[in-house]
Amino acid sequence: MPPGPAAEDAAVGTIAVDASIELVLQNGSSCPGISSFSANPASIAPGQSSLLAIATVGPPASIQWTVSPASAGTFSSPTSAQTTFLCAGSGLVTITVQVELTAPDAGDACAGVLFTSYAAMVGCEK
């Protein structure tokens, strides 16, 4: 059996997800959906950054990127379809992106609809 990749090679990579989605009518509105997500690279050292990007079907009223734990890093633009994430420490962190369609006096009309949020793990390694 041939040897697998070296440990340092296995920790570097890119996350890319493409999906076909169907817009859902909720409260008379067409909900936006996330059709692709990418994080490049998916494993970075503290102080380094990863390029994050999404594509959507239907124009979202807003986009919001978050990280858990909240102290794990920062985004260059937490409300853009494309942003960079800068690791503040080490360990696995969860990056989440949410697209919303805000209706007057109704809040997010598409809250809870499939494909309006996506989460992925990014490794902040030493």
What digits encode the pLDDT tens for the residues 56-88? 988 888 899 999 999 999 999 999 999 999 999
**pLDDT band at residue 31, thresholds of 50, 70 and 90?**
confident
96 is a domain residue? yes
7 is a domain residue? no
39 is a domain residue? yes
**Average of per-residue pLDDT across 5-15:** 53
Q: Helix, strand or coil for residue 49?
A: strand
The DSSP code for 46 is: T
- State the average pLDDT for the chain: 81
What's the domain range around 90?
14-124
pLDDT of residue 3: 47
The DSSP code for 32 is: P
Q: How many domains does the chain have?
A: 1
The answer to whether residue 124 scores a pLDDT higher than 60 is yes
The answer to whether residue 23 scores a pLDDT higher than 70 is no
Provide the CATH number for the domain around residue 67. 2.60.40.10
Alpha helices (H) in the chain, listed in sequence order: 7-10
pTM score of the predicted model: 0.75
53 is a domain residue? yes
Tell me the residue type at 106. Answer: A
4 is a domain residue? no
More confident residue, 33 or 12: 33
pLDDT of residue 27: 55
